[in-house]
Amino acid sequence: MDSNLSASAKRVQDALHGFGLDCKVKELAESTRTAVDAANAVGCDVGQIVKSLVFRGKASGKAIFVVASGANQVNEKSLASLVGEKIGKADADFVREQTGFAIGGVSPVGHPAPLHTYVDEDLLGYDELWAAAGTPHALFSLTPEQLCLITSGEVVNIKKVAAP
């Protein structure tokens, strides 16, 4: 059944099975590259889309992995406070090196090595979430509890709030 999946999507499917989860990776004709694209493709609220973002510690050079609600922007100052150093956005090469995936298809699971992960607390307010599965056309549904399990992430408030 997984034989029709691309190599990256199959790696995600195998990682999910490795956690004992029955989540099914789906590859679609429509792009799921952005949170809005993904929400439109599966017919859910943009907030249910798990955005996988990679930042880099400016001093340490370490990867900081964030899974955020598709409806939210990450407050980088809050994230830097949690991490304990200034951070910057990672470039495409660093993202691929750390996650094994290209930007637009970064999955929360299936990385070459575990990443220190922060989970946007707003994701816990949904019954069902959708996350990228290795390509800009692949995704899978999961619960917030499953997301926390597969990422070993720390649940935090990192949403950027618009100024009044």
CATH code at position 99 = 3.90.960.10
Residue 118 domain-assigned (yes or no): yes
Among 1-10, 25-34, 149-158, the range scoring the smallest mean pLDDT is 1-10
| pLDDT at residue 3, rounded to an integer | 60
Whole-model pTM above 0.85?
yes
Q: Which two tokens stand for residue 39?
A: 């929400």
* Domains: count for the chain: 1
| pLDDT at residue 1, rounded to an integer | 43
Residues 6+ apart with CB under 8 A from 63: 54, 55, 56, 57, 90, 94, 98, 115, 116
Residues in the chain, total: 164
How far, CA to CA in Å, does 131 sit from each of 45, 140, 164?
13, 6, 31
| pLDDT at residue 82, rounded to an integer | 96
Range of the domain at 15: 7-156
Average pLDDT of 67-90?
A: 96
Pinpoint the alpha helices (H) of 43-143. 76-83, 92-99
Kindly tell me if the per-residue pLDDT of 162 is higher than 90.
no
Residue 1 domain-assigned (yes or no): no
Kindly tell me if the per-residue pLDDT of 20 is higher than 90.
yes
Whole-number percent of the chain with pLDDT over 70? 96
Residue 81 domain-assigned (yes or no): yes
